[in-house]
Structures are given as structure tokens and as C-alpha cells.
């Protein structure tokens, strides 16, 4: 399959690139900064296209001859108007141009932020209640994808990643932009106090597992489906920090601030990817590998 992919030099994106290449697909990557992951420019099976998601002629041309479009890149803005222009409108443009180009499959990368206010048990069908502009633009883009796909021949699906972590997919690759893992590892190396919120945690997903979900959705005949990209287990930041302290042989004190958080976590129901693709992920083994990598670099 020939795939046009945006965001391929980002953290999630370069793991998806690795997954697709290992599956034998041909990739056309939209690359904003060729120096970010130089190896992407020379990998067999990869055609790098210079540009951004705001270069509409580049997007239209790049979709020609492709079987699928996987949209991972994020547009950003500081106001509701610029967020709409820089992210949601780009998604809508890609949808229209992909359909015109005869693309058969379209995957949109949303976020669990589209849900907004968390509730005790969350399925993909739960009503979105965004609490910030990022969540709002993701929810809006989801609505356009689903509405467009209702009458389109193109199979359109949505993946909502949660907190995604991991080591680089390639030697010159990148890790997640969020610094909490890095900060914990660095503090443990220095035997400095590590301050966290009591009961804070999430259903972390390793980037390699998330990439497997992209592969499963791409190769399926599903349409107009939303899938959470998360593991099944809830892991606290406290347990991450305790393991980092053990691995570093550290004397760090873990300070848990009590902000009145409920000890019973809000959970994402992961039965959809289990039922549709027989996928079920756990994260702690990869968390340990990631901590080992970060501690070694500290």
C-alpha cells in the first residue's frame, strides 16, 4: 500500500513510519524539518516531501497515487480562530483532497483530550466535553471526519492516543515531548526529591504498541470507527518514580501532594481494540525500558 503520512518526524509519527515500513508499505512523508530525523530522508521505501500541513498545493499533489492517508501532524494556535484554521480546517482539506485523489483509507489522529471531562468509565461512544482548545479542535475534527465519511467511499477512522511514551524508533529518532519521565529520571539520578500528585496516573501506551494499532486499523475494513490508543492497565506516576529510584540506586524522596484526587481512577474501556483486532496492551515493561534509557542518558 502507498501511504501519505503527515507528522512522520514527530514522536508518534516516526514509530508509525517504522511499523508501516516493517509491514512492507511504501510511504510518502510530509517533512517540515529534514534535520529533525535525517535518516527518514534516505530510508528505502520512503519518499520525503518538503512542506507543512499549511501548504495546500503540496498536500494535494502528495495525495496523488496514494492508497491511504494517515494524518498525525498537529496544527496549533493560541486562539479559537487560529486553532480552527491551523488544525481542524487542515483535516477537512485533507479529507476532501484525499477523496478527490481516489484515496481508499483515511486515519485521523485525535486525542483522548477530545473527551475533555473524564468520567468513571469511558467508551469511544461517550459524549465529548472538551475543556480546552486542543480538545475542542480534536472533537471538531472528529465530527468532520465522521460526517464526511457517512457519504464518502473512502474508509475513514479515528485513533485517540493517550499518554504515549518510549525510546526513539530509530537511532536518530525522538522521544515524547512531555518531560515528566525525563524529569523523574534526572531527579532520581541526582537523589533529588520527586514531587507528584497522589493517585495521579493514566493508561500509558508504549509508542510501538500504538503503532501496531495504526497498522491494524489501516489493514482493516472498518469505517467510521473511533479507537482509544491506550493500554488496559492504569499506572500511577508514583509507581513510575519508585521504579526509577530503584533502578538508579537513588536516595530520592518521593513526595505525594494530596490534592483531593479520588483513589479510584477514571478508566478508558479498551474492549473495542480487543474485540476488533485482538489487541490488548500493558505498559510497565516498556516503562522500565524507557526509564533505563533515560537514566543512562542522565
Q: Which residue has the cell 515531548?
A: 177
Domains and CATH numbers, the chain: 2-164+205-229 (3.40.50.720), 169-202+235-265+284-297 (3.90.25)
Reading the block at residue 3, the C-alpha cell is: 501511504
Q: Spell out the per-residue pLDDT of the chain, length 298, in tens.
A: 999 999 999 999 999 999 999 999 999 999 988 889 999 989 999 999 999 999 999 999 999 999 999 999 999 999 999 999 999 999 999 999 999 999 999 999 999 999 999 999 999 999 999 999 999 999 999 999 999 999 999 999 999 999 999 999 999 999 999 999 999 999 999 999 999 999 999 999 999 999 999 999 999 999 999 999 999 999 999 999 999 999 999 999 999 999 999 999 999 999 999 999 999 999 999 999 999 999 987 5
d(CA 212, CA 19): 7
Amino acid at each position: 500500500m502507498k501511504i501519505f503520512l503527515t507528522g512522520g518526524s514527530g514522536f508518534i509519527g516516526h514509530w508509525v513510519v517504522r511499523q508501516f515500513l516493517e509491514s512492507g508499505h511504501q510511504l510518502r512523508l510530509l517533512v517540515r524539518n529534514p534535520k529533525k530525523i535525517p535518516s527518514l530522508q534516505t530510508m528505502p521505501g520512503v519518499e520525503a516531501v518538503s512542506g507543512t500541513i499549511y501548504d495546500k498545493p503540496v498536500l494535494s499533489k502528495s495525495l496523488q497515487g496514494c492508497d491511504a492517508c494517515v494524518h498525525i501532524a498537529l496544527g496549533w494556535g493560541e486562539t479559537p480562530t487560529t486553532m480552527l484554521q491551523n488544525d481542524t480546517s487542515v483535516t477537512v482539506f485533507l479529507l476532501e483532497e484525499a477523496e478527490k485523489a481516489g484515496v481508499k483509507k483515511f486515519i485521523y489522529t485525535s486525542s483522548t483530550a477530545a473527551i475533555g471531562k473524564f468520567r468513571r468509565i469511558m467508551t469511544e461512544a461517550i459524549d465529548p466535553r472538551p475543556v480546552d482548545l486542543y480538545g475542542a479542535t480534536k472533537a471538531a475534527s472528529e465530527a468532520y471526519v465522521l460526517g464526511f465519511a457517512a457519504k464518502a467511499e473512502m474508509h475513514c477512522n479515528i485513533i485517540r492516543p493517550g499518554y504515549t511514551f518510549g525510546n526513539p524508533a530509530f537511532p536518530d529518532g525522538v522521544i515524547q515531548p512531555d518531560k515528566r519521565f525525563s524529569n523523574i529520571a534526572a531527579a532520581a539520578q541526582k537523589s533529588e526529591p520527586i514531587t507528584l500528585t497522589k493517585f495521579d496516573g493514566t493508561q500509558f501506551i508504549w509508542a510501538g504498541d500504538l503503532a501496531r494499532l495504526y497498522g491494524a486499523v489501516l489493514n482493516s475494513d472498518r469505517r467510521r470507527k473511533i479507537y482509544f490508543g491506550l493500554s488496559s492497565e492504569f499506572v500511577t506516576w508514583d509507581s513510575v518514580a519508585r521504579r526509577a529510584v530503584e533502578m538508579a540506586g537513588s536516595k530520592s524522596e518521593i513526595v505525594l501532594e494530596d490534592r483531593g484526587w479520588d483513589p479510584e481512577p477514571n478508566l478508558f474501556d479498551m474492549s473495542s481494540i480487543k474485540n476488533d483486532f485482538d489487541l490488548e496492551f500493558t505498559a510497565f515493561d516498556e516503562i522500565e525500558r524507557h526509564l533505563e534509557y533515560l537514566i543512562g542518558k542522565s
